[in-house]
Each structure stands twice: as C-alpha cells, then as structure tokens.
Homo-oligomer: A and B are copies of this chain.
Amino acid sequence: MSRSGELLTRVSVPTDPSAATKTIISVVDDLLGRVADTGADVTAIGIGAAGFVEHSAGRMTFSPNLNYGDPQIRDAVRARVDLPVAVDNDANAAAWGEHTFGAARGSDHLALLLLGTGIGSGFIIDGRVLRGLTGAAAEFGHMVVDPAGPQCPCGLRGCIEQFASGLAIAREGRAAVEKDPASSILSFAGSVEEITAEHVGRAARQFDETAREVLRVAGVMLGLALGNLVNIFDPEVIVLGGGVIQTGEPMLGAARDELNKRLAAQKRRPIRLDVTVLGKDIGILGAAALALHLGDAV
C-alpha cells in the first residue's frame, strides 16, 4: 500500500497450516519483489495474523487453528529484510483498517465484528487498539450470552459465536431442514450435510420462510451481543464485516432492531451500525495502516 492508502499489488497464498510463518515469509518475499519492479521503496511491513499476538514483540502467543512453526513472526521477517515490521491480530488490523480507511474513518471509538466461520473482533478505544496485557483481548466471539447454549470449540458453552457465526447459521440451517425438508435451503445445498450459511442466505433472499427464521434468530442474538458491546465500550460506531453479512437484511435487520430495542429500553443514545465498505481488503489495508503508524502509540 502506498502512503496515500492506494493498494499497489496483492498476493494471495493458502496458509501452510503446519508452518504459517513460512507462508508469511514467502508472501513477504514475493511482495517485496513485485514492489521493487514498480520502482517504489518499501518503508515498513504490516502483518495481521490469526491468534493472540504480543504486539510489542511481534510474537504469536496462542493460535488454536494454525501452527505457526516459528511464533516469532517479527524476528523471522526481520531476519530476511531490514525493515520495521508490525504484527497484530488479524481482527485488530481490520479494526485499524476501518479506523483509517473505512466506514468509521476518523472515529476514535469503534467496534468491528467479523462474522465469518467464527466471529473475530477488534476495538479502537480513544484512538488506540485494545490488545490487553498479552494480546488476548477483544475475543468478543467468546462472550457467553446463554450459559445453557451450544458447546463451542473454545471450551465454553453459549458463546455468541455459537449463535451468529457462519458455522452456527449452517448448524441451525441443517436443523431447520430436518423439520422442513421442502425449504429451498436444501435444494441450494444438495444435501443436509453440505448446508452452509451461504445456502441459508440464498434461500432467504428468495423469501424462504424457514431460512429467514434461522437468520432472524441469529440476528436477534447478534443484537443482544451488540447491546452488551455498547454497555461495555460506548462506541461511536459498530462496523460489521465477514462473509455472513452477505446474508443481508433478514439477519442484519433483526440485529439492528434488537439492538435499537435494547438501547431504547436502557434510555441509551442510538448507535451507528454500519457494514464495512472495505470488503475482503479490510485486513490487509489495516495491517498496512498499522505499519504506517509504527512507533505511534496505537
């Protein structure tokens, strides 16, 4: 990315799940070569990584879904290239991307939720990224909203991720089709086992009532979690991203209604709820923006 925020080039490589740091280094090598071809100078490198990141050390401390091999990402990259390197959690980077380039540009109090397979989150508080003592903060997806709720792979029950993530919507879509085999969810998916959130979303767009009800329930729970978020952070704006937002109004409308109902019940001011305009680039734009701000207290 240029200093003015223009994305010059992009490389997309599947992560090696047993040695993610190797993948990062090969992507960095590739990008440096491409940028050199344009004649531009590289002044800093920003990396957004899945898992807990100790930002000050550029080090992974915990990553349930990926093995990084070498957790010292910053040092590993700096051993190849003598440039400043910023490493942060991918959702933190995305929140910074929103803050710098997105719908919430200029807001120093924003919350970003990435509704994908799971739920990632990043928070900007008073212009700074919330990281916690060890980089293990901002795990909003694992806020328990129903102690009797479904088991979550994280070890707890009833995390919001079990109600409003892609996996949760797929699970509820499968359960709904067992009761209503005529639902177009099933015709989109082919078989019950193959149902994903995308199939539920497609069926809902064609006014399939079963699909719409699955998304409505997910949206109501999301609205409840957003109410908790407001009580904790009092943000200026909440931004939603991730693949699940493609399911559109059946879920997002229900979430917005539930949030507004809760804010009104508590006599709280209304909160802006936006969908990201950065699309899939949100993470890389954020990582680049963090690199640009290296040395500042962000």
Contacts and interface: CB of A to CB of B under 8 A. Distances in A.
15 contacts: A62-B267, A125-B132, A132-B234, A134-B269, A136-B230, A136-B269, A138-B232, A140-B232, A142-B266, A143-B228, A144-B227, A146-B146, A154-B265, A155-B264, A155-B265
Contact of A262 (B131, B139, B156, B268): B156
A8 to B, nearest CB: 33
A156 B266 CA distance: 7
Given A154-B266, A155-B267, A232 B144 contact: no
A275 to B, nearest CB: 20
B135 A234 contact: yes
Interface residues of A, number: 44
**Interface SS of chain A:** loop
A102 B140 CA distance: 29
Interface in A221-272: 221, 224, 227-228, 230-236, 262, 264-269
B265 A234 contact: no
A234 B134 contact: yes
A142 B234 CA distance: 13
A129 to B, nearest CB: 9
B233 A155 contact: no
A234 B266 CA distance: 27
A158 to B, nearest CB: 9
Nearest to A154: B266
